[in-house]
Chain A
Amino acid sequence: MLSFVLRKMGMLIPTFLGITLIAFFIAHLIPGDPASSMLGILASDENLRLSMIRQLGLDQPLTVQYWHYLSATLQGNLGSSLVSREPVLAEFLRLFPATLELTFFAMTFALLFGLGLGIVAAVKRGSLLDRSAMALALIGYSMPIYWWGLLAILFFSIGLGDWLPDLALPVSGRIAAEYDLTPITGFMLVDSLLQANHAAFRSALSHLLLPALVLGTFPMAVIARMTRSSMLEVMREDYVRTARAKGLAPSRVMLVHVLRNALVPIVTVVGLIVGPLLGGAVLTESIFSWPGIGRWMIEAVWQRDYPILQGGLLLIAALVIFVNLLVELLYGLLNPRIRHG
């Protein structure tokens, strides 16, 4: 097993290097030179600009610049924001827990409901239940997230606000303004529990519900469809027939024999979903004013704050690669043939 893990990690290195290359070139492809961006108004002073260029090392050949960039990156120095002057890495770490909390809940929702819908649809293939579940899934993954978010706000917040004001869900921020939690882990739910502030916990939870639902809809739909098709395929296998011939209860056949093998492609899909999930987080955070890295990056694009763009992309890509590694390891765990082969 260990050699399997090491092998997988080794394959990541070229990909990671490739990403650093892309991140590096972003700064150099953006129109306007970085020195002027940094100087702002002072950029009209030519001497100042030239000395800035020297200071930033921009007069060196590209390969040298890349080397500097790479070594700085590996030491954790990803530059500073042009707008806030704060180090990119620090800002990322500060804002990341919000996004992580959101995506975690979205993914949990997606897995629970996706697997559930998919299993039910597969077991009751052809029934009304099956067709409704799949219709729901189709709508779920055809819906533009940003629109779904706006509609959700319309129904669950404004709409409920008119009829059942107590149940109306909040749509902005992570927690009601009146709660002033000291950030320990950065995760509102955890922090509020740690500080035994139950009202704050409830507030944080209610703020999380709508965005997580909206973000998790697309992954849920994909997982539901994949689960169904994967289970239907596995149900045709010879070993499922053997399991039935052993007199096992149908539920055991489904859960122990079918689902276990059906999980393999589902896990692959889950790995592939991380990308769209993070992309969706960007949009969701925009709509719900969620202070995470998605919103941070979008604002950076509008403000041409390229160090954030560079650093953010690099970190997110590293994250995606890491998650894919975990998925591959999980894959190896689920499928003994991959481990040994």
Chain B
Amino acid sequence: MSLLEINNLHVRFGAGATAFRAVQGLDLRLEVGETLGIVGESGSGKSVAMMALMGLIETPGQVTAERLAFVGNDLLCARPAARRRMIGKDLSMVFQDPVTSLNPAYTIGSQIVETLKTHAPASRRAMKVRAEELLAAVGIPEPKARLAAYPHQLSGGLCQRAMIAMAIACEPKLLIADEPTTALDVTVQAQIIDLLLELQVRHHMGLILISHNLAVVSQIADRVIVMYAGEVVEEAPARTLFASPKHPYTAALLAAIPENNPIGAPLYSLPGLVPGNLERQANRCLMANRCDRVREECLLERPCLAMDADGRIVRCIAPLNGGQ
């Protein structure tokens, strides 16, 4: 039994024909202890998909799927109370901006204890001790003192560690990290990623890392999914993906990394914009207007996500052949 199984996930905002398709037909599978990276730019639907999983999408958003299962438990038709028992305990999420993601009116100690009280209640003292342990486990110096600190008194990096502490408080089986380092200093970014990796190994957690930063993803992911305009366009083991991307979009993402560009020259960037609502309804390849390999067939039909001749999963009728 897989840790996570998502089949044909759709997330739409609004109703009827003009609804915005944030996620279109996402399939995803994650095994215990595996690290999955989801990359894509803003508007690709990567965050929305995971929030739909957590049940965080509110009206006018609508979530539909064929299957949404976590450790075999059906999340799709789960009653709200049943879902709430899993969220925050076995399945938790860490968000992008740690300082605003923590409640400014309460100390971080009380916010961690709140998670414990909800899912693993114990005596007040025991929970306080556990909170302190958690802060220490995420590498926060002087954890006891920090319990009484307010979010605005901590740096971004410390807040993010605190949020991670909160997320792993009940030893989750899966941790979703949505752009955990984007709002942080570069120096701190590496520390947080190392921390996530360390925790994952220690607790044998599944980890989903969402990022638009390929460098970060390449460091720790086993497998990577590339998303564009709500669709998965490529899926492959990390090393293979970065060595030889098959989808033009993946190639473009790799080409845009500063390290891959000659010094002094302008950075490579893909011309055009991410498809808006109207374009997403069209029956053609969503990358067609930005792709330099576009052909007539690309405009006739939306390509499916399929295995190509080399056994790679790509959504393109003319995938790249390694290194092009």
Contact = CB atoms under 8 A, between A and B. Distances in A.
Query: Do A and B touch each other in the complex, judged by CB within 8 A?
Result: yes
Interface of A: 237-239, 241-250, 256-257, 260-261, 334-337, 340
A249 B115 CA distance: 11
Contacts of B119: 247
21 contacts: A238-B95, A238-B97, A238-B100, A239-B101, A239-B102, A241-B56, A241-B101, A242-B101, A242-B102, A245-B54, A247-B84, A247-B85, A247-B86, A248-B118, A260-B103, A260-B105, A261-B105, A335-B104, A335-B105, A336-B105, A337-B152
B92 interface: yes
A247 B88 contact: yes
B297 to A, nearest CB: 42
Contacts of B5: none
A261 B89 CA distance: 25
B56 A245 contact: yes
Interface of B: 54-56, 80, 83-89, 92-93, 95, 97, 100-106, 114-115, 118-119, 150, 152-153, 163, 166
B13 to A, nearest CB: 15
Contacts of B86: 247
B118 A246 contact: yes
Contacts of B87: 244-247
Contact of B103 (A245, A257, A337): A257
A245 B170 CA distance: 13
Contacts of A238: 95, 97, 100-101
A256 to B, nearest CB: 8
Contacts of A245: 54, 56, 87-88, 92-93, 95
B167 to A, nearest CB: 8
Contacts of A257: 103
A244 B114 CA distance: 12
A243 B106 CA distance: 12
Contacts of A261: 103-105
A256 B54 CA distance: 21
Contacts of B106: 260
A306 to B, nearest CB: 48
B92 A336 contact: no
Nearest to A261: B105
B229 to A, nearest CB: 24
A260 B80 CA distance: 24
B163 A242 contact: yes
B156 to A, nearest CB: 13
B95 A242 contact: yes
A241 B105 CA distance: 15
A273 B304 CA distance: 62
Contacts of B56: 241, 244-245
A340 B84 CA distance: 35
B153 A340 contact: yes
B147 to A, nearest CB: 15
